[in-house]
Amino acid sequence: RWLSFLSVLCAVVSLNCQGQTSSPNNIVPNPVSFTATQESPVILNKQTRIVADAQYQDQAIYLRDLLTNQLGLTLEIATPDTKQGRHSKIVLAHDTIEANRPEMYWLESGGTVIRMKARDVAGMVHGIQTLLQLLPLEKEKQVGFPTVEIKDYPRFAYRGMHLDVSRHIFPVEFLKKYIDYLAFHKFNNFHWHLTDDQGWRLEIKSYPKLTEVGAWRNSTLIGHFKDTPARYDSTRYGGFYTQEQVQDIIQYAAIRGINVIPEIDIPGHSRAIIAAYPEFSTKPDSAWQVANTWGMYNRQNNVLAPNPATFQFLETVFQEVADLFPSEYIHIGGDECSKMWWKADPKTQAFMKANNLKDEKELQTYFIKQVSGYLAKKNKKVIGWHEILEGQLDTTAVIMNWGGAKEGIAAAKRHHPVIMSPGNPLYFDNYQSKNPKDSLAIHGYNPLDAVYNFNPVPAELQQLKLDKYILGAQANVWTEYMGNPAKVEYMVFPRMSGLSEVLWTDPKQKNFSDFKRRVKTTLVPRYAFWGSAYFKDFERWTVADK
């Protein structure tokens, strides 16, 4: 049946079928249900119109621009009440009855119509991605779109990709490209790691020195190769995003169905803050510099001191952040807070005593609770790295476990929602090959099959019927050794494509060798079309390689 479908398709769009395999479903991530019929395809040409309901006008423009880019056809956009002619149509319909789940879309095509139905923007955007994957990557005057029926929705509600812009900063244009990558792969959250020891990257109007001072360091990474150890020179490096740029990015993402979650990492990882405002540190008289090297920075002070000025600062900053970002969740970091500086500081010890905090873990929890309180006043909830559970928090706090699965399991047992992001296999800063000449990366080995075969729901939680606490998963892209956009792309492709299927597709419909086939038919040509770098040797390296 597939073969005869393909031959009809090929007869009409003879050029476009070259190189296709015998399966008509080349879509990544694999949809819930896909049926193709033998009817003749819908012909798209420059008369074709995009007919969009009021809710989807922005997505109509988004689709038009993508079609222009991909096919060289710029279609007119109409609303359903404008008089329709005999031209073919791509219909973007708002529908809550058939599209009865969040982020769901139906895509049906036949005769002269391609119709997509969705109840929300994200669902419509997902439909658009599928539609584009069913079209060739060539400039054509006329193309045939196969007659299909696709009903599709995600396995997990949270599907995230993170990007660290502190260790290296990337231009706004690249952040938009990154958001396009997320949209293509049907992710719905961009976790933007905006602050760390090596640079504060977000304009804060009430504390201008955060960017005047905190955004700059005196070291630049040179060399990206494993066989040449990382070297630095002492040129000034840095930069930041203005609030205007941030708003532009948020809006760009929203049109693409993506929520932007900012992370302001406290009370550790705060060296850039104390370089700008030493009064918030346990050693206010020291001249701290923004960190010039990587690592946990244990031995050098990077923690906030619990004094009134610090809490005033945190309240003001988090309120400004809450006003800027529409996201329901704000990430407050909370990872790797070194306790030694609190232990060594008499003022901190006095503060702990006065507030009945028996140890430094309780002080850390105190920080998290204060900040959660400031955010609650702005109707925001918090996400934090798993260390925030070293104390008792109320269960609205979402936990991102970066160690192993075990911290995620522990959090779910305490009835916290969990976003699984264990280092193994979801740290995309780790190596994807054992090739000694591979580009420089950090510690572990997370090849494509490890990512593809990852199950965000541990069996133990399933048995305990606690799996409902798993919201989804996220891969993290720490950029110590990613000094430019091409290196980021090299590290995320095709692993991010693999993760998209983990998060979207029913496990019963997953198959690694078929996935690799689709990477070749669908993704490799697109990586090239986008001008993106990627790791080409993904079939060679697997977890079995020692």
With a CB cutoff of 8 Å and minimum separation 6, the contacts of 406 are none
Distance, CA of 446 to CA of 541 (rounded, Å)? 10
Site string for ligand TNX, 427-446 (x = CB under 6 A): x-x------------x----
Q: What is the dihedral of CA 344, 345, 351, 353, to 10 degrees?
A: 40
Rounded alpha-carbon distances, angstroms, from residue 80 to 62, 107, 116, 385: 18, 18, 13, 47
Our finding on whether 390 is near ligand TNX (CB under 6 A) is no
C-beta separation of 278 from 209 below 8 A: no
Q: Closer CB to ligand TNX, residue 445 or residue 512?
A: 445
Beta carbon of residue 385, minimum distance to ligand TNX (angstroms, whole number): 5
By C-alpha distance, which of 279, 297, 283, 285 is closest to 199?
297
Q: How far is the CB of 388 from ligand TNX (least distance, A)?
A: 11
Number of residues that bind ligand TNX (CB under 6 A): 9
**Cis? peptide before 485, omega within 30° of 0:** no
Mode of pairing for the β-strands spanning 158-164 and 189-193: parallel
Q: Which one of 385, 527, 538, 541 is in contact with ligand TNX (CB under 6 A)?
A: 385
Q: Which residues contact 345 (CB under 8 A, 6 or more apart)?
A: 282, 283, 305
Q: Is 335 in the site for ligand TNX (CB under 6 A)?
A: yes
**Smallest distance, Å, CB 478 to ligand TNX?**
3
Instruction: Give 64 or 201: the residue with its C-beta nearer to ligand TNX.
Output: 201
Calculate the CA 39 to chain-centre distance.
Answer: 38
Q: Smallest gap, in angstroms, from Cβ of residue 144 to ligand TNX?
A: 47
The answer to the question of residue 152 lying near ligand TNX (CB under 6 A) is no
- Written as six digits, the tokens of 50 are 């995009």
375 or 482: CB nearest ligand TNX: 482
Tokens of 432: 């994807």
Separation of alpha carbons 276 and 266, rounded Å: 15
How far from each other are the two terminal CA atoms of the chain, in whole angstroms? 43
402 is an interface residue for ligand TNX by CB under 6 A: yes
Site for ligand TNX in 351-370 (CB under 6 A): none
Q: Is 543 in the site for ligand TNX (CB under 6 A)?
A: no
286-to-64, 185, 240, 265, 456 alpha-carbon distances in Å: 56, 47, 25, 22, 44
313, 366, 431, 478: which one binds ligand TNX (CB under 6 A): 478
At its nearest, how many Å lie between ligand TNX and the CB of residue 286?
22
- Residue 336 interacts with ligand TNX (CB under 6 A): yes or no: yes
**341 versus 427: smaller Cβ distance to ligand TNX:** 427
Q: How far is the CB of 402 from ligand TNX (least distance, A)?
A: 4
Please, which residue, 196 or 360, has the CB nearer to ligand TNX? Answer: 196
In this complex, which beta carbon is closest to ligand TNX, that of residue 168 or of residue 518?
168
Q: Which of 39, 108, 315, 336 is catalytic?
A: 336
Helix, strand, coil tally for the chain in percent (to 5)? 35, 20, 45
User: Is 336 a known active-site residue?
Assistant: yes
* Residue 318 is a binding residue for ligand TNX (CB under 6 A): no
- Are 428 and 479 in contact by the 8 Å Cβ rule? The answer is no
Q: Which is nearer to ligand TNX, 6 or 165 (CB)?
A: 165
The Cα–Cα gap between 301 and 281 comes to 8
CB of 335 to ligand TNX, least distance (A): 3
Residues with a known catalytic role? 336
Applying CB under 6 A, the residues found at the interface with ligand TNX are 335-336, 385, 402, 427, 429, 442, 478, 480
